[in-house]
Structure 1
Amino acid sequence: MEAVLRSHCDEQHPHQAEDFHGKHEENGRLSAGIKKDIEKLYEAVPQLVNVFKIKEKIGEGTFSSVYLATAQLQTGHEEKMALKHLIPTSHPLRTAAELQCLTVAGGQDNVMGVKYCFRKNDHVVIVMPYLEHESFLDILNSLSFEEVREYMFNLFKALRRIHHFGIVHRDVKPSNFLYNRQLKQYALVDFGLAQGTPDTKIELLKTAHCEDQQEDSVHHSVQRSVFGERNFNVYSSTYQENSSTKLIKQSKMIDVSSRKLVTKKKIISTKAVSNGAARKAASACPSNLTCDCYATDRVCSVCLSRCQQVAPRAGTPGFRAPEVLTKCPTQTTAIDMWSAGIVFLSLLSGRYPFYKASDDLTALAQIMTVRGSRETIQAAKTFGKSVLCTQVVPAQNLRTLCEKLRGTHSSCMRSQDEVPSKAGNDSALPDKLCAPEPLGKQIQQLKSFQEGDGALEMKATDMKGWDQVPDEAYDLLDKLLDLNPATRITAKEALLHPFFKDMKL
């Protein structure tokens, strides 16, 4: 550290106190909350005071906060760096695994590397190069088609790199793939949710995965289940409705996450019958019986007797692959490729976020509106899942869908006076689609949205190549959004796709 960075407490800088106060004078323009966060960070990791001037807070997530800072180099120049402060409750193995991902796979092929790491007790700060980048939402509808092609090519380079080391990122999305439009620089960041493949070269990911499985087995009673269901296993199979309770009626297409049990006097205690007792009682249920609780507000003995499934659900809603939504226990690097496909879908359609669902069931229904219900059901069978749908939903043509949404389709080319320009920060699916509704109604909303004022209007002079999108683009998109993870295109294969035929690896 001393060989690279010039400490503010060196002999050349005797006024450490002045420098420290100078930081806080610079932070005077920041909000009181951010200013306090920066002060707390200096207090938690005092080594930072001697090395960095923290300028501002540039990001905040569930597991960490990111700050922009400058470091004084021995050459006399200042260098901008990003400081990622991991929350103290992060498991040490998880923190170490993230660091190992950065040090082993990072630093090349558009994967963020790490410069230094500071620790004081349970506070860890990872120092990384700072890449000035644009907001995906701000530039989405100003990107040319060629820029989109370069963007996806560089994203696949980053994914090929990490997948080579057996790293599954699990949270691929635009905000985790930094893009400097002017310099054409890219960086895949945030490995806080990363997991390893069975043959991963990141040893700590193997350990962290085992630790995660142990925690899942210990906390199985509170494990979030597929489709975001609440835990209704607190009632025995002989539970009957009494005069003090009533059940809210459900439609045929149920959002199981919104089930509620209403009482006139007080909520029934969930401790009345434990999960263990309910499952023990249900374990005597004959295995040849079929479930009779579908679309009802109870859990039958057959369902109670089934072993609970434990599978990772990490990731950002709207970018989760079908095998994640259906809680498939075997998840591979293919889930990153699905997420990349959703990014590509947003770029081609000009809509971000493309999917915006409140729960996993709605998210799966939204996928069906684009990829088709039969196709989704058939794909689910390949990885051991059974998906039920009350109606047949046909798959949509990806070119037609994207062109309509972007406004480059012949039926959508209208004059500026006729159709007002639509902002690019809307989901491709209307907000109402996010609410639990019959699938047929969701399809109708999507169709009316595409054919109506939802289409973006573009002048012929502003096309930027969008009027000449080759078939190869939609062929690649189709392979990325393959519902079957076993046949979904890999990052290495994607880079060799005809869509990138004239680009150098």
Structure 2
Amino acid sequence: MAKARTSLRHIDVHEDDIKEEDAEETLDESMNPLEESGHTVDSSDEEVEDAVQEDMARFEETFVGINKRFRLINRIGEGTFSTVYKAEDLEYDKYGNTWDIDERENQKWSSPAQRRRPSRRPHYVAIKKIYVTSSPIRIFNELELLYDLRDSDSVCPLITAFRHLDQVVAVLPYFQHCDFRDYYRDMKISEMRPYFRSLLTALRAVHSKKIIHRDVKPTNFLYNPAQSRGVLVDFGLAEREGTDWHHCLCHVPDEDRRYRASHSVWAQNQAVSHSAPSYPKNDTRNSRRANRAGTRGFRAPEVLLKCTQQTVSIDMWSVGVILLTMLSRRFPFFHSADDIDALLEITTIFGRRKMRETAILHGQVFETNVPSYSEGGHTLEKIILWCTGRTGDKTQPKKELEEDEKEAVQFLYRLLECNPAKRITADEALRHPFLLRTFEDSEADEDMVDLVEV
């Protein structure tokens, strides 16, 4: 009987190896999505650049024995914390491989005799080489979370993990997918629905275990448009909900929050100075520290405002940014240099009033004197019309969104809700009318096929 590879191989984490700066690691900025590799090719012998070939040779030389288990083929991804290689699993038939979705699909259409015979086709995996600059705690955390999520739908499972000296590699399934930049501009609403249904199915599984992914973005959701199937990857920044939590006003009743705001240092200064906002000249309070890990442009307002009790709802905001990107045909939609600029970009859409309310929610103060930011902001409908060039000619009749676009925007409002407590959950999203129509679209496509065949 084949041996199962679903158990997590032990990786030693020595307390002596963990320095204080590791526990408060500053490597929380994931790579710019425009700089990341984002697709695979359907070939096992694609051209390999000389630099990549040298990189793989160095990897095989420094990680003793890796070439006996896997044949490295190409480098398929590079990020801030890791490099990912495509490789052939040379010992595939020695183990149980319940993780292999493609093999399961092939077995459905095979005869009983074929199912009993070992598969002769090559089987590919993705080998993730985690950089040694990552702390031992961060590496162990990622592998532990992947192991906990091993049976979750649409989530990339961990096959196994190895350690050689200070180098750790994770072995993951290899998924065929396309670069987001190659298809997002051409996606119809009917094609967006299965994309988000697959993504939110993954997040429902992740969030049900109280795990925050923290880095939801197109390059971390490997999607195959031909199969309408995707898989959520890269849990390098993920954490369990409640990790290093500290009290935040967003978790207290509204009445208590209003009372504290009215008796705060800021409110007292406002009472003294009526002409303009004023602040203490020498503020002796400690600065607020909170986890801000993620990717620029995809961080939720509460992350930018340093909420100290962040929940899984930050992932739902990131899903909303992806949907806004598709509807507006602009990637990346938000492209700020820092957290302050990011807040101002959000202010452009939602307005100063909403951002002030959102800041107060987390015990912060938001003020800007830039005149171009309006109090009420703009509707998402107007933003999408403007981005897609449907508001330019004033002499023509006013253009509106198509009916299916309007339904998508209603869903978008639930995702891009500035108050995390009111933001839609993954489970609620899967029951939203926008995604429930996924099945209607697929049935319509089947009817079209039947019509053509007749």
The answer as to whether partners of 1:334 and 1:485 remain within 8 angstroms in 2 is yes
- How far the C-alpha of 1:46 sits from its partner, in A, is 1.8
Q: What is the TM-score normalised by the length of structure 2?
A: 0.70
Structure 2 partner of 1:372: 351
Pick the structure with greater CA Rg.
1
**CA contact 2:350–2:377 (8 Å) conserved in 1:** yes
Partner Cα separation in structure 2 for residue 288 and residue 413 of structure 1? 49
Letter in 2 for 1:40: R
Identify the residue that residue 477 of structure 1 maps to in structure 2. Answer: 412
Q: Give the CA deviation at 1:373.
A: 1.2
In structure 2, the partner of 1:351 is 330
CA deviation after TM superposition for structure 1 residue 174, in Å? 0.2
What is the match of residue 381 of structure 2?
Answer: 399
Aligned equivalents of 1:28, 1:482: Cα separation in 2: 44
Equivalent of 1:387 in 341, 366, 382: 366
Q: Which runs of 5+ in 2 are unaligned?
A: 6-43, 94-117, 247-264, 273-278, 440-454
CA shift, 1:410, in A, is 9.2
Aligned counterpart for 1:80 among listed residues 95, 101, 124: 124
- Following TM superposition, by how much is the alpha carbon of 1:288 offset from its aligned partner in structure 2, in angstroms? 10
Instruction: Report the secondary structure of 2:142's partner residue.
Output: helix
Q: 1:101 to 1:287 in 2, by over 3 A?
A: closer
Name the residue aligned to 1:362: 341
Residue by residue over 1:228-277, the C-alpha shift from the partner in whole angstroms, topping out at 9 and shown as x without a partner, is xxxxxxxxxxxxxxxxxxxxxxxxxxxxxxxxxxxxxxxxxxxxxxxxxx
Give the SS at the match of 1:340. Answer: helix
Query: C-alpha offsets along residues 437-462 of structure 1, whole Å, 9 cap, x if unaligned?
Result: xxxxxxxxxxxxxx9xxx9xxxxxxx
Tell me if the contact between 1:65 and 1:84 (Cα under 8 Å) persists in the aligned partners: yes
Q: Answer yes or no: is 1:310 the counterpart of 2:289.
A: yes
Give runs of aligned pairs for residues 456-471 of structure 1, distance below 5 A: 467-471=402-406
Distance 2:266 2:298 in 1: 36
Shift of 1:33: 2.7
Contact 2:193 2:438 in 1 (8 A): no
How many Å separate the matches in 1 of 2:175 and 2:395? 38
Instruction: Judge conservation of contact 2:193–2:437 (CA < 8 Å) in 1.
Output: no
Give 1:472 deviation, angstroms. Answer: 2.7
Gaps of at least 5 residues in structure 1 are: 6-25, 199-205, 214-285, 293-298, 415-450, 456-465
Alignment of 1:147-296 (within 5 A): 147-198=191-242
Question: 1:288 and 1:158 mapped to 2: Cα distance?
Answer: 43
Which residue does 2:137 correspond to in 1? 93
Structure 1 consecutive aligned stretches of length 4 or more whose deviation exceeds 6 Å: 286-289
* Residue 71 (structure 1) shift: 1.4
In structure 1, what is the Cα distance between the partners aligned to 2:73 and 2:140? Answer: 26
Amino acid across the alignment from 1:359: D
Q: Is the 8 A contact 1:323 1:485 kept in 2?
A: yes
Matches of residues 95-174 of structure 1 in structure 2 within 5 Å? 95-174=139-218
Match for 1:141: what amino acid? Answer: R
Report deviation, 1:405.
1.7
Q: Deviations 1:345-399 (Å, cap 9, x if unpaired)?
A: 0011111100111111111111111111111111211121110121451321212
State the alpha-carbon separation in 1 of the partners of residues 394 and 193 from structure 2: 24
Structure 1's 27 and 91: CA in aligned 2 closer, same or farther, altered over 3 A?
farther
Shift of 1:406: 2.4
Question: For residues 347 and 267 of structure 2, what CA distance do their matches in structure 1 show?
Answer: 31
Give the distance between the partners of 2:395 and 2:63, measured in 1 at CA.
Answer: 57
Distance change in 2, residues 1:120/1:31 (3 Å): same
The one of 7, 26, 30 equivalent to 2:48 is: 30
Count the aligned residue pairs.
Answer: 346
Q: Provide the residue aligned with 2:318 in structure 1.
A: 339
| 1:363 partner SS | helix
Q: Is the 8 A contact 2:190 2:438 kept in 1?
A: no
Match of residue 48, structure 1, among 46, 66, 77: 66
Deviations 1:90-136 (A, max 9, x none): 22222121112212113432111011211112111111111111111
Partners in 2 of 1:339 and 1:287 — Cα distance? 31
Match of 2:262 in 1: none
Give the corresponding residue for 1:62: 80
- Partner of residue 325, structure 1: 304
Paired-residue identity, %? 36
Letter in 2 for 1:475: Q
Higher alpha-carbon deviation: 136-145 or 338-347 = 136-145
Residues 110 and 301 (structure 1), Cα distance of their counterparts in 2 relative to 1, 3 Å cut: same
Mapped to 2, the partners of 1:106 and 1:347 lie a distance apart of 30
TM-score by length of 1: 0.63
Look up the SS of the partner of 1:302 in the other structure: coil
